[in-house]
Structure 1
Amino acid sequence: MMGEQKSEPQLFNYAVNLEQRVRANHPLRAVKAAIDFGIVREEVAHCYGDNGNVSIDPVVILKMMFLLFFDDVSSERELMKIIAERLDYLWFLGYSLDDVIPHPSG
């Protein structure tokens, strides 16, 4: 079953706005503005069933694969470790500080 990323209510209020933490001229801002990653949902919808576990949002998966090549990350497993530490990655993927990052085996 195809999942769609949704923001969960935050447990704590850190007063951290990722939008403000990513500099205005960051390269990922240009990428995010130029590419409509949302189109991937329509393209892959037929690949998902109506029952079973909910998947990671295909948009997030595509963005993660983009980051692998964009920053020359050595592996998906390494990327998962880096995502939690990089505010620019969290912002690009649409995650907050409280969101659970997908596990590489999931």
Structure 2
Amino acid sequence: MGEQKSEPQLFNYAVNLEKRVRANHPLRQIKAVIDFSFVREEVARCYGRNGNESVPPEVILKMMFLLFFDDIKSERELMEVIGERLDYLWFLDYGLDEK
């Protein structure tokens, strides 16, 4: 009888998140209607030029939207869930390996 053996992955296959989010997904409809890039100009004066690189403001706004959209209880829970949900990664314009 055959046995499935666990071996380290030799090849890293690219996953196209665009193909993994169904066509009628609500986040797809929201992303098509709302251009979140407006927030960058609105908050530009609040960002300093020194220090560490920050999370893009449009990504933060999208994360806050996800909190309310899916009734997630806390930002901590949201951060745990983002890495597990392909639709969230796609909505935030992140890839599988990005943090």
TM-score by length of 1: 0.81
Aligned counterpart, 1:83: 82
Q: Quick check: which has more Rg, 1 or 2?
A: 2
Tell which deviates more after alignment, 12-21 or 79-88: 12-21
Q: Aligned equivalents of 2:91 and 2:80: distance in 1?
A: 16
Amino acid at match of 2:53: V
Matches within 5 A, 1:22-41: 22-41=21-40
Post-superposition shift, 1:15?
A: 2.8
Aligned counterpart, 1:7: none
1:27-86, Cα deviation, whole Å (9 max, x unpaired): 001100110100000000000111111111101100000000000001000000000000
* Structure 1 stretches lacking a partner, 5+ long: 1-11, 101-106
> Alignment identity in percent?
76
Aligned counterpart, 1:58: 57
TM-score by length of 2: 0.86
Post-superposition shift, 1:14?
A: 1.9
* Structure 2 stretches lacking a partner, 5+ long: 1-10
Q: Aligned equivalents of 1:21 and 1:98: distance in 2?
A: 16
Aligned counterpart, 2:20: 21
Q: Aligned equivalents of 1:37 and 1:87: distance in 2?
A: 19
Aligned counterpart, 1:49: 48
2:89 matched to 1:93?
A: no
Aligned length: 89
